[in-house]
Amino acid sequence: MGKGYYVDEGEVSFFFHMALTFTVPCLLGIFTRYIQFKSLLNNHILVKGQFRDFDKLDKGFSSITYYYNYDGKEFYDNKYIPKRNFVFPKMRKFKNGDELHFIINPKNPKRNLILELYDININV
């Protein structure tokens, strides 16, 4: 027989509990984001807005500033996007004043998605 290795059940239990402690909240977070995204796609309103600014920030992030109008109110927003993100090249092509199209949640108009950044087939 080969050499056996001693496995401390306390250590295995500790690492198992640590894995559960981190995995369950991460999965819940991912599931929540998925539900929010599907809700936005299913219950959306199309609006037009304008690109305002593109800032290069430190630590590998950039910022895009834009605004749109809905229900007589003007909404400004800022999104921080990592430079390695797949939407970054599309974002860099925007010029100040370019028209953008958004889908927003009518119950919470601050929730939005810029259609020009993603390949979503919604007729504008």
Q: Which of 92, 98, 34, 103 is nearest to 66 (CA)?
A: 98
Q: What length is written for the chain? A: 124
Whole-angstrom distance, CA of residue 13 vs CA of residue 35: 33
- State the pLDDT at residue 30: 94
Could you read off the pLDDT tens digit of each residue along the chain, which spans 124 residues?
A: 556 666 666 677 888 888 889 999 999 999 998 988 888 778 788 899 998 887 776 777 888 889 999 999 999 888 887 777 777 777 778 888 889 888 898 888 888 888 888 776 666 5
For position 67, what pLDDT does the model report?
Answer: 92
Count other Cβ atoms within 10 Å, centred on residue 67: 14
| pLDDT at residue 73, rounded to an integer | 92
Instruction: Kindly report the pTM of this predicted structure.
Output: 0.65
Q: In the 3-class helix/strand/coil scheme, how is 33-83 assigned residue by residue? A: HHHHHHHHHHCCEEEEEEEEEEEECCCCEEEEEEEEEECCEEEEEEEEEEC
pLDDT of 26: 93
